[in-house]
Amino acid sequence: MSSQSLYDEYTRVMQEVADIRYAAAVLQWDQETYLPPRGAEMRGRQLATLSELAHTRFTSEAMGNLLDALSAAGGLNPEQQANIALSRYDYDKNRKLPPAFVRQTSEAVNASFHAWIEARKQNSFAIFEQPLARIIALKQQEADLLGYTTHPYDALMNDYDRGLTVATCDSLFTALKPQLLGLLGQIREKNQIDDSILYQHCDRDAQWKFGLELLKRMGFDTDAGRQDISEHPFTTSFNSRDVRVTTRINETDFANMTWSCIHEGGHALYEQGLPYGAYGLPLGEACSYSMHESQSRLWENNIGRALPFWQHNFSLVQTFFPEQLGGITVEQFYKVINKVQPGLIRTEADELTYHFHIMIRYGIEKQLIDGTLSAKDIPACWNDCYQQYLGVTVPDDRQGCLQDVHWSHGSFGYFPTYSIGSLYAAQLYAALRAENASVEEEIARGNNHRLLEWLRQHIHQYGRLHTSEALCTLATGKPLDSAYFIDYATKKYNNVYL
C-alpha cells in the first residue's frame, strides 16, 4: 500500500472513532441539559457502550499495525507526520492500561462519585474516605503503568497537559505565592469594595438574553453552536461547527451568569477556531486543558474584567438591567466586578485568591499520589492550608475538602491546569498587546476582530500540533513565566484598590 493509501485508511478509522466519541458527547450534553430523570439509567449504559466501542476501535491491533506501517512508509508531509506521531503517543498510552484496569477504575469512580454525593449530603468526609483511598491507590497504579521519570504525579498531569511536570508547577507556584501574598496584603490595607449591587434581583429571561448577546459580541458563531441551561456550566464540541456552551442563572447573582458565559465563550471560541478539515485527527483537537483554560480565562478576566470591554458593553448591561445597574458609571462597575475577597469556595473566588485554591489542591494531590499523605488526613491538611494561605477558617467539610467533584471522578492532575491556564492567559495577552498597541482601544469600541484573529492565528489554528509549553514560546517568544500574571494583577489591583 502506498503511504497515501495508508494515511487515507488511518484518517478513515480516526474519523470513525471520532464519530463515535462525538456521538457520546452529544449524549452527554443531552444528559446535562434535557434528559428526563427516568432516562438516566439507560443513558448510562448507552454512553458506556459508545465509550468502549471507541476505545476498542482505537486501541485495536489493526490500528497499531497501521501506525507502524505509516511510520515505516515515509513520504508523508509534516502535518500528516504530526498526526501520526500524536496518534502513536495516544495509542501507546492507551495500550499501557490493561482493559481490566480500566474497568476497575471505572467501577471505583462510580462508587466514589456516589459516596461523594452522600458525603456532601451528610457533610461527612468519613463517608468518602475509603472510596477515595481506593481511587488514590488506582491512580498510583496508573502512574506506574504509564511510567514517569521524576514524580508519579507527572504521569497523571500528562493527561491534561502533556509535558507538565511537578518541577514546572513547583517552580511556577513558588514564584507566584509570595507575590500573591504581597499583593493580597496590600489590598487588605485598602477600603473594601461594596459589590452588593451585583446581588440585586435580575430577571431570568433578561439574564439569558444578555448572556447570549455577550457571546455573540465576543465572536461566538451561533450558526455553529448554541447555548443551553445546565446545572454546572460547561463547553462541549461535536466538531468545530457545532460547539455548545451552557450556563446557569441565579436571579440574585447576575455576576455568576455573566462571567460564566464569558468563560465558556472563551472555551467555545477556541473550539470554533480549530481546523474543521482535521476532524477526528489530533491536529483538529485542542492543545491541552491548560491552553483551553488560557482561552476561557483570557476572555473571562483579562478581557472580561477589564475596563475596555465594558466601555463598549456596559450600555448593554444598563439596557437589560436599568433599575439594578442604571445608576452607576462603567468605572464603578469595573471596580465592583474586581472585588478581592478570600473565601472558602474555589468556583466563587476572585481571580487573585483563586490561585491559592489551586495551590492547596495541587499540594495535597501531589502528596496523595507520592504517598506522603493519606486520604484520612485530607481534612486536617486542607483546613490548615486555608487558614495559612487565605486566613479563612473552614467550618465544615462540605465547604472544605468535599466541595469539588474532581477527586471522586479520579481526575488527579486536573486542578493545576486552572492556574497554569491563567498564567498562560496573562502571558498571551501581554504578547498580543505588545504586537497590537491599539487592541484595547478597539475592544473599547466593540471591535474584537484583531483580538480573536490573534488567538486564531497563534493558538487555535494549530490544534494539538505543539505542546502548551512550545505553543506559548511560539506565540509569546518565551516559556511560561508567572511574572506576566503578577504584572497584570499588580497593575489591575492598583487601579481597583486605590
Binding footprint of its own copies, residue count (CB under 8 A) = 37
> Per CB under 8 A, does 61 bind its own copies?
no
Tell me how many degrees the CA angle 363-365-366 measures, rounded to the nearest 5: 65
> Per CB under 8 A, does 241 bind its own copies?
yes
Q: Which is nearer to its own copies, 21 or 464 (CB)?
A: 21
> Per CB under 8 A, does 238 bind its own copies?
yes
Q: Which stretch binds its own copies (CB under 8 A): 11-19, 333-341, 447-455, 463-471?
A: 11-19
| Number of residues written out for the chain | 498
Site for its own copies in 212-231 (CB under 8 A): 221-226, 228
> Per CB under 8 A, does 203 bind its own copies?
no
Q: Of the listed 264, 271, 351, 469, which one is catalytic? A: 264
> Per CB under 8 A, does 242 bind its own copies?
yes
Say which residue the cell 506521531 belongs to.
Answer: 85
> Per CB under 8 A, does 32 bind its own copies?
no
Q: Which stretch binds its own copies (CB under 8 A): 13-21, 71-79, 144-152, 174-182?
A: 13-21
Distance separating alpha carbons of residues 477 and 471, to the nearest angstrom: 9
> Per CB under 8 A, does 159 bind its own copies?
no
Among 6, 10, 14, 24, binds its own copies (CB under 8 A): 24
> Per CB under 8 A, does 437 bind its own copies?
no
> Per CB under 8 A, does 45 bind its own copies?
yes
CB atoms within 10 A of CB 322: 10
Residue 243 φ/ψ, nearest 5 degrees = -115, 125
Which segments of 176-240 are extended strands (E)? 225-229, 235-239
Segment holding 161, helix H or strand E? none
Distance separating alpha carbons of residues 280 and 276, to the nearest angstrom: 9
Among 30, 118, 194, 396, binds its own copies (CB under 8 A): 30
Q: Which is nearer to its own copies, 54 or 369 (CB)?
A: 54
Distance separating alpha carbons of residues 272 and 235, to the nearest angstrom: 11
> Per CB under 8 A, does 398 bind its own copies?
no
Contact 112, 131 (CB under 8 A): yes
Site for its own copies in 256-285 (CB under 8 A): 279
Q: Examine the residue annotation and report whether 16 is marked as an active-site residue of this protein.
A: no
Full strand arrangement of the beta sheet holding 225-229: 225-229, 242-247, 235-239
Segment holding 246, helix H or strand E? strand 242-247
> Per CB under 8 A, does 46 bind its own copies?
yes
Distance separating alpha carbons of residues 263 and 214, to the nearest angstrom: 11
Contact 135, 112 (CB under 8 A): yes
Q: Site residues (CB under 8 A) for its own copies?
A: 15-16, 19-20, 22-24, 26-27, 30, 34-39, 41-43, 45-46, 48-50, 53, 221-226, 228, 238-239, 241-242, 279
Q: Looking at the annotation, which residues are catalytic?
A: 264
